Structures are given as structure tokens and as C-alpha cells.
Chain A
């Protein structure tokens, strides 16, 4: 069992609070992705788990053992570094076996583990080579093999794919996911790439300014962001946001955006009615809108500003009430710039955001 519990962990660098009172429990064998823009504290949190930067306050325990003050070598963890941190003076074999040598693993056992880790990553033919004669992708494989050979209960990964070119990254992403599914280790994976996060993690913890904004399954984080930042950070294109005004009638609540009116779902109406101000923000993802050539009862007429064909979809830029919306359409829909179309915004796909707290309203 290697459950990681992070309790009230804070770390500051001078006046800069890198991680701010974080509480997080990572289940045994879970794959957790720490996602956030640069400077959000995700790497600092990972290093705190690794023991490479001691937390200022709070507790960290791994598998029930308090490791807050343990040096990294005694935490039963292994790690893949962003720069790979391969030892340049050692062969691939020595690199993969380094942790085993340091932990005094029996020689035959160590050799077996080095070979099996190398086979997993398809670098068994490189074992006698030195890193300087290898490509970035091969070095990356060595770094992963070195981490896997430790057979540690906790595997930490600090943006392992960020130094690879796009094609190789795509390939390694799938391969890493396959590998880590077999490896039965609790994995913490740091990335700033939302696609990587969504595609790999069991859960994604989205961080900003040293705080975890939302920690949920990838689909939940995507579909139901907890606040405006999560909605805008995840998804490509990011979620569309529109400023609206709440119109409180006797029975119903409607929201006006420019000259258009939207009615929130039944369940959310009391919540929206209770908001202290009249302002509200509407969020909707590009693919959740429907584009129609002819008007219908619940459509909004818009003029297309730009059409961006992206192959699998066409991305339209349209304008509603002073807000630019990105709308994704099927490529078969024949539209051109300056043309008038009608888009439908399904009420259940709209996320209603309180502008005061920037958090999304959900029925309880």
C-alpha cells in the first residue's frame, strides 16, 4: 500500500508562496496528474513529495509512514526528471542500475531488473551505450527505465515528455500509459499540457497560484469545471465566457446576454436567484453548441467572423452581445465568413459562473 497523504503543506521561496496549504490524498496505485500553468507550484509540490525541497510546514506521508523529514533516498520513491538527469559518464546499464547499486540490491537480481526495465522500454540493445551518443527520446526511455527498475511503490514524474518533439511526445504518451498501467505504482505526474493530463490521469489536479483548484477524473474536470480558471485552462479552444445580466421574474430567472435571453435549468434557478449581484458569467464549450443554417425556436442568429478549418472540425468565430465565441462545427457544414448562421446553446451545457467567486454553480 502506498497511499500518499499531503496535509496542510506550504512552501515559500522568499516572499513567493509556491504552494499554499495543500491537502491532497493520492490513493494507492492511482495515477494523479498535477496540471497547471508555469509557476503554479505543481513542480514544487512534486519535489516536496520527493523530498528534494523540504516543505515549510505540513505533513507528508507515504504508505502510512510520515516522510516529512526523510531524505529522498529513504522515501521508497523513484522519479523521472524533466531534464532526464541521466548520468553522462555511465552506460545505459549502469544508469538504470544506479539506484539498485546504491540500495545494495543483489547483483544478479539487479541485472535481471535492469534488463526487464530495458525491455519494457525497448532499449535492451542500447545497454552498453553512453547517453551522449543517444537521442532525446532514447535518453527519456533510459530515465523511465531507471525509475521503473527501482520497483518503488511511488513513481514521480516531472514533465517527462516536455523535452520531446510533438510526434515523439504523442507516441511516448500512449506508451507511458500502457507501461504505468502494468506497473502498479502510485504515480504523480506533473505536466502543463492539458491533453497529456486528460489522456493519462485517473485524476487530474488543476493548480493555480499554489492551490489546487479542482481534483477530479479527467472527464469531470473537463465537463464540469469547478471554476472559471479550470474551464479556461482545460480544453482547446478554451471554454467560451460571456457576461450576462440576471433578470429575476416572479417565477423564473432568465439571463440576458446582449439582446438574447437564456433560461438556466430548473435546478439552478434558486442558486442564480440568490446571487448577490445581477452579474453572471456564462461558460460553454465550443463543441457543445450546435450550428444551424436555418433559424429555430431556441437559436441565436450570429454573423461568422472567421472560419478556421482544422480538419476534424471547423472552428467558427462568432459574436454574441459583444462577446466572441468559438464554435466548433462539423466540416461538412458549408459556411463562410460574414455569413449569418444560427447557433443553439443547450441550457444544460452552459456553465453558470458567479463572477464574484469565479466558481461554477452546481446543484447540490
Chain B
């Protein structure tokens, strides 16, 4: 009985290993995807729809242990009801906006010794111990003639506690203790006097000069919101950006596909010049898109190549300004040309690879059975290239949603704008990370939708693939 049992358990162990090993092998890929793909995407998405500072919770006591009274949205006008200073113990709240108080021992104006608390603002520290803690100092003089020249000493580190004495200016003091104080305000929304008042730390509030009114500067609790997306859609550049991006796609991609197919067929014809054509056609792959934009800018600009040629041919009398706000069509034309020149070769490379995967005998068979060159292209090459065309279309459409540098180089970014440019404008120009993220997410969604569309529409049946 033991032998079959051992065998079974051994084979079980082996099966288990076969099941786990593939997952171990793809673990690095999963880590990579999570770190460099899923996480940034998640963060971007969160930025676009989640407002981290939306709500400020108020408490029934002026400290963090108090239970919550209400949440007041960011920017709400407040009426200030009361004010309190709270000692912050240790490092429990490193973000707190604190004000240090010193416990001092000194002689009062009458000469009798006194021990009490004085705000840091009233003490100049003269000596510190090795750890940097203040040891001794002097009372600061008051400069304003109207105020009391003496400094109040409080019983506790709080300006609401009892004044137990006063100190003369420049009186030497010994510092025996330090307390960190944070001011809390009891507030309620200004437009709703009946609402319950709650306490909130000063760092989240903006208190006006009168000391009785203020507003919520920022909250601590986040909230999902469509505000950023609405702001993106309401932006005056949003419509033009979407329209221009789509227009460029419609103008560029079909032309690009046809051009790339012709180039691929030229290379696939295997004439003596094919290799030369391949190098010539794929040269622009090595160029950055900004460089391509600048290159075409130099062609279309006032003293550029195009004007020089037209002038030399006597077609125009003086330089024609192609790239101005009044000649948006010319800008679009230049962008289309630059993109065609720059990005057609990557489509061509994909199609050449696809063509080379078609066996020679398949094409010879078509030729032998009477198909002319164009019939071979139509009946054999194009159908067998479907997977390659699909890849090329997906790649090009996604890249078309991201078109940016060429547009900036040729149009400056204001007269002609695209989605990627708007994301850039929001992030760097207007410092609005959330709306910039909303644009980024919008581009991402469009890309995914188009990829999905192509996968469906240009679907190649699995059994129709070359074997």
C-alpha cells in the first residue's frame, strides 16, 4: 500500500511545482507592471477624481481626541466663536503649526523671584545646552510706545491662564522648560448661525484681520469629486484641443497607412535598391518629435525653405507667413506633413515585418494561379497583413492622442492646441495637478477605447492566421 501512496504524493508534489513555477517566472513581470504601470495609472486616476483637501472635520473639544462635530467643505466662510491654545506633546502631530512657550525663572521688577510661562516671542534666547535646548535668555524690549513695557508671565503655557507676574525688558531669565502650543478655533459656517460650532486647528483655517471671520483653507478628509473633470470640460481650450487632436488623427492615420504600405511593398519587392530604401525610409525613426517639428518649422517659417523656393520661382513676391494665428490651416498642414514624415516609418517597419512573415511560396502560388501584382496585394498580402495592420493602427492611434512636441514647435501651443498640450498647460502653466491628471486620464481612456475598437473591428480570426 505504501508504494502507490508515495508515488501519488510525489506526483502531487511535482504537479504542484509545475503549477507554481510559471507564476514564479512571471512574478518579475507582475512586479514591473504593478510598479511602473498600474501604480502610476492608479495615482493619476485618483488625482483626477479625488480631492484630498475637500473636507475639514471639526471637533467638540480643541484637541485631536475630540469627537467629530461636522465636516466643512474647503473654502466655506466661517464665523469664529472661540479660540484656545493647546499644548502639543512630543511628536504626535508633526504638521501642527506651533508656537513655543518657555517656562522661565527670573526676578520681577520688585526683585522677588517668579516662575511662570512666557511666549517665545517675548524671550531672546542667549544660551543653549549641548542638545540645543534653550537654557537662559533675556526679555525682549517692546518698541511700541503705546503698549505696556512690561511682559506678562502666565501661570500656564496659555495666554488665557492667569497672569502671575510681570518682567522688565532685558531682564535675564533662566529657561527651565519648553512647551509647544497650537491655536485652535471654534468655528461654524458663517451663513448658518444655527449650525453646531466645532474646533479646528489654526493651520487649516484662514482667519481674517477682525479675528471673527475666516474660511476653511484646506481640509484633511478627501472626497470623490467631478469638479476637476468639469473644470477640464469647461476649460476654453478643451473643445479646440479635442477637435484638433481628432482632426489630426483623421488626416494623418489613413494617409500614413497607405504611404507605409507602398513603402513596405517597395522594400518587399527585393530589388537591388531595397536595402537602401529601407534605410532611407526608416531614417526619421531616429529623430525626436521635437526635432522633427523644428525641422518643419524651419521649412515653413518666414525666411524658411518653402518661402525661399517659392520666391526663387517667382510665385510669391515676398515671404508668406504660413505659421500665424490667421493661417491655422497652414499650421495644421505643416503638422500633418511633419507627423507623416516622422512617424510613417514605424508603421512601415511593422508592415515590412508582416510581409516578410508571408511565405514566398504562398505569393508564388498566387502568381502561378494567375494573380496579377495588384490582385496579389489585394487577395493575399492585405488579408495576411491584417494582424500587422491592426498593431500599426493601435500604435499610431495611441501615439496620435499623445501628439505634442510637433504641435508646440509649429503652432506654439495656443493657436493650435491638442490634448497633451492642455495637460502640460494645466500642470506647468497653471499648477493644477488635478486638472492635468484629468486630461491625462481622458487621453488614456480614449487610447484604450480606440485600441479596443481596433481589436474588435480588425479582428483576425484565429484560424486565418498564417501557419
Q: Could you tell me how many residues of chain B have their Cβ less than 8 Å away from some Cβ of chain A?
A: 25
Please report the C-alpha to C-alpha distance between residue A90 and residue B466 in the assembled complex, in whole angstroms.
11
Q: Using a CB-CB cutoff of 8 Å, which residues 353-375 of chain B contact chain A?
A: 359, 361-362, 364-372, 375
Please report the C-alpha to C-alpha distance between residue A51 and residue B464 in the assembled complex, in whole angstroms.
29
Q: Does A195 contact B (CB under 8 A)?
A: no
| B463 pairs with A133, CB closer than 8 A | yes
Q: Measuring CB to CB, which residues of chain B are less than 8 angstroms from any residue of chain A?
A: 359, 361-362, 364-372, 375, 379-380, 383-384, 386, 461-467
| B465 pairs with A79, CB closer than 8 A | no
The B interface, classified by DSSP as helix, strand, loop or mixed, is helix
Q: Using a CB-CB cutoff of 8 Å, which residues 219-235 of chain A contact chain B?
A: none
CB-defined contacts of B464 to chain A, threshold 8 Å: 88-89, 130, 132
CB-defined contacts of B359 to chain A, threshold 8 Å: 83, 85
Q: Does A360 contact B (CB under 8 A)?
A: no
| Chain B, residue nearest A98 (CB) | B369
| Chain B, residue nearest A71 (CB) | B367
Please report the C-alpha to C-alpha distance between residue A130 and residue B467 in the assembled complex, in whole angstroms.
11
Please report the C-alpha to C-alpha distance between residue A89 and residue B370 in the assembled complex, in whole angstroms.
18
| B361 pairs with A85, CB closer than 8 A | yes
| B367 pairs with A52, CB closer than 8 A | yes
| Size class of the contact patch on chain A | 20 to 34
Q: A88-B465, A89-B384, A133-B463 are in contact. Are A72 and B361 (CB under 8 A)?
A: no
Q: Does A253 contact B (CB under 8 A)?
A: no
| A81 pairs with B367, CB closer than 8 A | no
Q: Measuring CB to CB, which residues of chain A are less than 8 angstroms from any residue of chain B?
A: 50-52, 71-74, 77-79, 81-83, 85-90, 98-99, 102-103, 130-133, 146, 150
Q: Can you list 5 A-B pairs with a CB-CB distance of less than 8 A?
A: A51-B368, A52-B367, A87-B366, A87-B379, A130-B464
- Number of A-B residue pairs having CB atoms within 8 Å of each other in the complex: 76
A106 CB, nearest partner CB in chain B, Å? 15
B356 CB, nearest partner CB in chain A, Å? 16
CB-defined contacts of B368 to chain A, threshold 8 Å: 50-52, 72-73, 77-79
Please report the C-alpha to C-alpha distance between residue A23 and residue B467 in the assembled complex, in whole angstroms.
38
CB-defined contacts of A85 to chain B, threshold 8 Å: 359, 361-362, 364-365
A159 CB, nearest partner CB in chain B, Å? 12
Q: A52-B367, A87-B366, A88-B465 are in contact. Are A73 and B372 (CB under 8 A)?
A: yes
A133 CB, nearest partner CB in chain B, Å? 5
Please report the C-alpha to C-alpha distance between residue A81 and residue B361 in the assembled complex, in whole angstroms.
7
| A52 pairs with B364, CB closer than 8 A | yes
Q: A82-B361, A88-B464, A88-B465 are in contact. Are A72 and B384 (CB under 8 A)?
A: no
CB-defined contacts of A79 to chain B, threshold 8 Å: 365, 368
Q: A85-B359, A85-B361, A132-B464 are in contact. Are A78 and B369 (CB under 8 A)?
A: yes
B459 CB, nearest partner CB in chain A, Å? 13
Please report the C-alpha to C-alpha distance between residue A50 and residue B207 in the assembled complex, in whole angstroms.
95
